[in-house]
Structure 1
Amino acid sequence: MNITSTHDPSDRMVTDVTATTEDHHEDEENPFAQSPYAIFGWSVVYGLLVVVALVGNLGICWIVIRNKRMQTVTNFFLASTAFADSNVIGFNTVFNFTYALNNDWYFGKAFCHFINFVPIGAVLASILSITVISLDRFVVIMYPLRRRTSRKTAKMTIAGIWLFSLGVAFPQCFFATITTEESGTRTTCSIQWPDGVSGRMRLGYQLSFMVISYFLPLIILAVSYVAMALRLCGSNNQVGHQNETQLRRIANNKKAVRMMMLVVVVFAICWCPYHLFFLADYIVSDSYHWEKIQQVYLAVFWVAMSSSMYNPFIYCWNNSRFKESFRELFHCGGARGHRSFAFRLRQRSRGA
């Protein structure tokens, strides 16, 4: 999978398309330079995405960290997903959007290595966290008598997810480099594989990453959620044999499954065009040589990155505790929060 404009297929876009375009526009300093109107329009669209996604995901992290009531095993993984999405938005989206506008790298060699390491690992960590949530829910629903995952185990699992994700991203970081044109008009950040752009190493890594970060998780998620949905639907036939506590637990499980199924559907829809974009070069010859390919890439990249923006809304829509916590965090619950704080102070003073 390729999630930055510095990753291989987009690097292919940078190198191959640049070469082709420059053959026809030798007099232009940068054949990828866009008009001020295009830059303004894309900047507004991407700017709104960055602001909304960062506020929502950092808010999720803050709520879980600050509120002990929210520190459940599932919420730990949701916070890991939100932290990963914040990294993707803060680094990948912002800097690679700037790069993709004119295909000119302004941020130096060290940051070229970084942008091909942490944000790449963060995308994988995000989907793996969602996958682990589904597996945890699967065990709870399908084997209710089995011991639940502890908070300590959840934290260790999250650490393992991040170490594995960064390890998978490391080859890109290692082979990343910047190249300045002889004329000095443009610098690119790209992955220089030992066997070249068309070598097996690049293709093998790309396909492996795509399987690990997209197709395999989706298969696991689809199978597990179908099984859970069937089990929960079957539980409705036994309502007369269940007490109020069991019915409440079933209702909560159904709500959690619906929430995570929606997260998975959003992820699948948003990232599908991006994967198809980078597979197009292997299916359709010279597809990256199309005149409007840069605009297509910016649109597809926005759709993929927007997956990080929707999750906080999904959590709040399906979870009353997250909704209430966001109200207290922002001005919606500000007055009530101040009244509650003053009330607690009066209670403490009376107790003293």
Structure 2
Amino acid sequence: MIVHDVQNLLDSLAVTVGRGMAVDDLEGRVVAHSVHHGEVDQVRARAILSRSVPAEVAAWQEAHGVATVHEPIRVPANPALGMAARLCVPLLHRGRRVGSLWVIEGHGPLSPEEETRTVHDAVAIAALLDGGGGSHTLHRLLGGEITVRRAADVLGEGAIRVLAVRAGRAGLEEAVGDELARMRRPPAFTVLERHAVVLLNGGEDARALGESLAARTHGRVGASALHPGLESAREAHGEAVASARAAAAEPALGPVACWPDLGVYRLLAEPDAALLGALRAHPALVDTLETYLDRGGDAQQTARLLHLHRTSLYYRLARIEELTGRSLKDGSHRLELHLALKLARWNAVRNG
């Protein structure tokens, strides 16, 4: 839909100024190209066939500053490359560069009126490309197809949180897209397997948006922990998907489950979670905890088996609660700690 709209705008502009044009994204991918108007050079023909800009052409363009400019800039012809002169109009949306609009000017530059019209239409093209470009970039980042540095050019930098919407596949993308469109600045989102994945910055209200998305899709939503930047996007994606699964499995978690609050389900999703990390320096506390839980919380029997005075046992149990941040009076917390202890034993024994 977005690419179709970009194509329509580009074709209309090309007819108006009578030049061949193309729109590239930040990765050098040809998003759209007009029908032939005026001169057609070898570079344009190759780009249309391959849907990408040849590396040597990209180098020539970057040597003339096209990667950093915020105003239209002209790139001279390069006969050795089979390339006519071009006008590059940077596609900027809300201060972020999302691609470039290229106009072939082989037989002479645009008139001032034509250039004004081109710059005007480039604003609309950039707004369209920002929506589709962000989603495409997020999909490729999570799939490991592009580097974090390349993705940051489109998605921005700073703290992130990821939402995963788990619902029936039919109509999922449309439902999520419609809900996000109501936001002042819709975040990038994509669909991976059975989840719609939404990338939020650290300041957005993930739970409120998650509840809206759950209501709109009749599904369940998982939210990752807050992460420092895009370098953690794949980890955050895994947390969000696991949280959505937990929300579907355990109604008590509500329509939105957050990774830091998953309790025992976090251990099931991530068996090596460091819940017991704070106790590793205190073997006696680990032994006390396991004995206490194995005996169903019977303090008298635990004290007898460990040869402890009841006062000493209660001190140890209080210290365990302090170090783990879990309450031994809470059944779900006891289950989480007990499972963590047994998983530690399981993981200590190699298969075979």
Question: Structure 1-normalised TM-score?
Answer: 0.19
| Larger Rg, first or second structure (1 or 2) | 2
Question: Which structure has greater helix proportion?
Answer: 1
Question: Which structure has greater strand proportion?
Answer: 2
User: Larger RCO: Structure 1 or Structure 2 (Cα < 8 Å, ≥ 6 residues apart)?
Assistant: 1
Question: Structure 2-normalised TM-score?
Answer: 0.19
